[in-house]
Structure 1
Amino acid sequence: MLTVHHLGKSQSERIVWLCEELGVPYELKRYARDPVTMLAPPDYKALHPIGAAPVIVDGDLVLAESGAIVDYIIAKYGNGRLVLGADDADFAQFLYWFHFANGTLQAGMGRLMLLNRLKLADDNPMLVATRARVDRAFDFVDARVRDVEYLAGSTFTVADIMIVFSLTTMRYFQPYDLSRCPNVVSYLGRVGARPAYGRAMKKGDPGMALLLN
């Protein structure tokens, strides 16, 4: 059976959610962050050489990196669900937003989080530039979901599963005011109402307030 090793408040929530959406049988193993450092515990870091979440085990396979895990689960267990084929008119949009999640938005928020921890002057050029880059990324998402129901268009896909962590749980580490992005808030209301999302978050992070607005 597929085993999902879930670190609380981490990108591994994507994998729990994906399994719930697909109805894939899986075993969930939960790990808590250190309450002081907020880092993964030693037994989680020992699962994979990179020492970061998420990690799955499927038979003899141990796999990390959320995008790779999503691709793997979709290819092995998805039966064509939650993805768009190359003949779909929205295929390019699906690909773009699937990779935008970690390639642009999550990466930018991560850089901003690290810069903020350095306690730089508010007018530090690198800090100012990074804040502006993150704002542009949020504005871009906001413009996209103003015109479509989901990132790829009218169909819910793994592109949505990839981006929601950055729009929600990541804000525990790098706060961001979504009042400037009303379309993102409406979008999060749509995806947050999905039963599989609710089940995944209750199983993976019970009691955690969901930052859906």
Structure 2
Amino acid sequence: MLTIHHLNNSRSQRLLWLLEELNVEYKLEKYQRDAKTGLAPVELKAVHPLGRSPVLTTENVSLAESGAIVEYVVRHYGNGAFAVPEEESSYQQYLFWLHFAEGSLMPPRVAMLVFSKAKQKVPALLRPLAKKILDGIMDAYYKPNLIQSLKFTESHLQNHAWFAGTEPTGADVQMLFPLETLVAMGQADDYPAIKAWVKKIHDRPAYQRALEKGGEYDYA
């Protein structure tokens, strides 16, 4: 049986959605973030050396990284659902969005979040200087890249129901976390197609079942 090692408020929630969509029997091991650091607990290192979530395990497999897990699950348990598209142009879109989610979209989002938190931890006397430096870095690099990526994503969703083809695929699973966090944090007002796509997934019965099983999740 598959076991998903699930950390609250993390990327692993999208994998629970996938498993519920596929009606796959699985075991759920839950972990809670450290209340002070927000990081994963040390117990996860006993599951995988990186000590992060998600991790999928079986008797023969210990697999980290969301994209790798998505591909493994769809290949071995999908039975045609959420499958890699056969049509060439849809297949190319699948490959692109599957890797775009973590390769291009998430890094600037994470960087901007880290910088925002860093400004709050600087001593009050140094905070104006720190804010000027960190805001300068964000405005010069991370923010423009993020806006460009979001505009590109918005444009695609204005003309497509799903990211690759006419049915949801693993690419949609991967894209869910960065976009639902964007919506939940009130940063998607300029992107109505993204908001509509996220709502469409959140309204699916399988997603609701995944929420019930996964527990606390701030981004739904």
Q: Using structure 1 for the length normalisation, give the TM-score.
A: 0.89
Are the aligned partners of 1:105 and 1:134 in contact in 2 as well (CA < 8 Å)? yes
| Aligned sequence identity (%) | 34
2:209 paired with 1:199 = yes
Aligned counterpart, 1:138: 150
Aligned-partner SS, 2:211: helix
Query: 1:171, 1:34 → 2: CA distance?
Result: 25
Query: 1:99, 1:176 → 2: CA distance?
Result: 25
Query: 1:203, 1:126 → 2: CA distance?
Result: 40
Are the aligned partners of 1:10 and 1:169 in contact in 2 as well (CA < 8 Å)? no
Are the aligned partners of 1:13 and 1:200 in contact in 2 as well (CA < 8 Å)? yes
Aligned counterpart, 1:101: 101
2:159 paired with 1:162 = no
Are the aligned partners of 1:9 and 1:169 in contact in 2 as well (CA < 8 Å)? no
Q: CA deviation at 1:205?
A: 2.5
Q: What does the per-residue CA deviation read over 1:136-193, in whole Å, with 9 as the maximum and x for residues that have no partner? A: 1111111111111111142111111111111124777xx4511111111111111111
Unaligned runs of 5+ in 1: none
Q: Pick closer, same or farther for the CA change 1:171–1:181 going to 2, 3 Å.
A: closer
Query: 1:151, 1:75 → 2: CA distance?
Result: 18
Q: What does the per-residue CA deviation read over 1:10-40, in whole Å, with 9 as the maximum and x for residues that have no partner? A: 1111221111111111001111111221111
* Matching residue within 165, 190, 197 for 1:180: 190
2:126 paired with 1:126 = no
Aligned counterpart, 2:35: 35
Aligned counterpart, 1:26: 26
Unaligned runs of 5+ in 2: 120-129
Q: Pick closer, same or farther for the CA change 1:117–1:138 going to 2, 3 Å.
A: same
Aligned-partner SS, 1:37: coil
2:193 paired with 1:190 = no
Q: Pick closer, same or farther for the CA change 1:86–1:154 going to 2, 3 Å.
A: closer
Query: 1:153, 1:87 → 2: CA distance?
Result: 8
2:19 paired with 1:7 = no
Q: Pick closer, same or farther for the CA change 1:170–1:48 going to 2, 3 Å.
A: farther
Bigger Rg, which one: 2
